Structure 1
Amino acid sequence: MALLGKVLRNRRAGETQMAWNLPDLAAADDIEVTSADFTHETTLALIHAGKRAGGRDESPALAWSTPPAGTAQLLLVVEDPDAPTAQPFVHCVALLDPAVTELPRGALRAEAAPAGVRLLRSGWGREYMGPSPVKGHGPHRYAFQLFALTTPITEVGGKSPEEAKPRDVLAAARAHARGRIDGFYERS
């Protein structure tokens, strides 16, 4: 498997197609996102990694400052722009009530999601999928992006948000504030 990672080492989706860089999600960086489990641009612990990588798929604890007035809903998107795919791999998408200002560790699993949190489709299911990069591919960035939406997402192309594809949900979102914290993970 490490050989495959070395072959694909220079193939990465890139940050340009991340939710963070979509025109309708570009906004003032007015929300401070933090975690008790890691600091910005440090390595994520094994517990947060995918089961295939020896972890437990346990989402890290996240907290954020109060979103600005006029926020109808929050959108949380976790992406890996270093995946050797055409677009960043989506590890989690969730809609949150604007009154929610933190998520405890492991809260992005269906059985543990607190009130006010709706887990949507991601790259592999309906809950957080931890880092599991190809061995030998090098470090991967995992961007935990939070967007304050001006209008709630109640429907996406005639479907409920839970039924819609992640990219369709992102296309339906309009942000007026945002924040982000990034962690890294690598399998050698």
Structure 2
Amino acid sequence: MTLLGRLLNNRRAGDSHTAWNLPNLLGPELLTLTSKDFDHGDVMSLEHCAKHIGGGDLSPHLAWTSPPPGTAQLLLAVEDIDVPMAKPAVHCLALVDPATRHLDPGALTARQPAPGVRVLRSTIGRGYHGPAPIKGHGPHRYVFQLFALSAPVDSLPGATSVDRARPRALLAAITAPVLDRGRLTGVYER
């Protein structure tokens, strides 16, 4: 696996295709997103990584400043921007009640999400899926992005259920203006 990682070392999705850079999700950047488990740009611990590499697949603690008045729903997207694909891999997508100000570790599990959290499909499955980069590929950045939406995301064009929508389709279909947004990046390497 290390050889494969080295061979793919120069291939990375990059930041340009993240939810953060989608035209429909642009907005002010005044939300401050933090974690007790890592600082912006710091290494994420193994407990927050995927089970198949020895981790616990435990979503990290997240906290944020108050969203602006008029926020109907929060959208949380977690993406690996260094995956060797054309677009970042979505490791978690969730809708969060705007009254919520933090998520405890494990709040993004598919089977028992925290109150006020609705976990959606990701590239890998439903719920939070921790880092598991290819060995030897170098450091991967995991970008936690929080968007304060002015209207709830209920359905997509064509009456597709939000719960069944593919993550990229859901992100591209959001039409509610973004009132505010914030992001936090963790790093992991194997």
Same fold (TM over 0.5): yes
The residue number in structure 2 matching 1:170 is 171
TM-score, structure 1 as length reference: 0.97
Quote how far apart the aligned CAs of 1:150 are. Answer: 1.1
Runs of 4+ in structure 1 deviating by more than 3 angstroms, as ranges, are none
Residue type of the alignment partner of 1:66: S
What is the correspondence of 1:63-82 to structure 2 with a 5 Å cutoff?
63-82=63-82
- CA displacement 1:22-55 (0-9 Å, x = unmatched): 1111111111101010110000000001112210
The residue number in structure 1 matching 2:186 is 183
Structure 1 unmatched runs, 5+: none
Quote how far apart the aligned CAs of 1:110 are. Answer: 2.2
The residue number in structure 2 matching 1:51 is 51
Quote how far apart the aligned CAs of 1:112 are. Answer: 3.1
The residue number in structure 2 matching 1:153 is 153
TM-score, structure 2 as length reference: 0.96
The CA distance in 2 between the partners of 1:132 and 1:13, in whole Å, is: 15
Partner of 1:4, secondary structure, is: helix
The CA distance in 2 between the partners of 1:30 and 1:152, in whole Å, is: 20
Structure 2 unmatched runs, 5+: none
Quote how far apart the aligned CAs of 1:171 are. Answer: 1.4
The residue number in structure 2 matching 1:116 is 116
The CA distance in 2 between the partners of 1:111 and 1:90, in whole Å, is: 18
Residue type of the alignment partner of 2:160: K
Aligned length in residues: 187
The CA distance in 1 between the partners of 2:90 and 2:107, in whole Å, is: 17
The residue number in structure 2 matching 1:11 is 11
**In the alignment, is the contact (CA less than 8 A) between 1:153 and 1:172 conserved in 2?**
no
Residue type of the alignment partner of 1:159: T
Quote how far apart the aligned CAs of 1:159 are. Answer: 1.6
The CA distance in 2 between the partners of 1:66 and 1:159, in whole Å, is: 31
Residue type of the alignment partner of 2:187: F
Residue type of the alignment partner of 1:10: N
Residue type of the alignment partner of 1:168: A
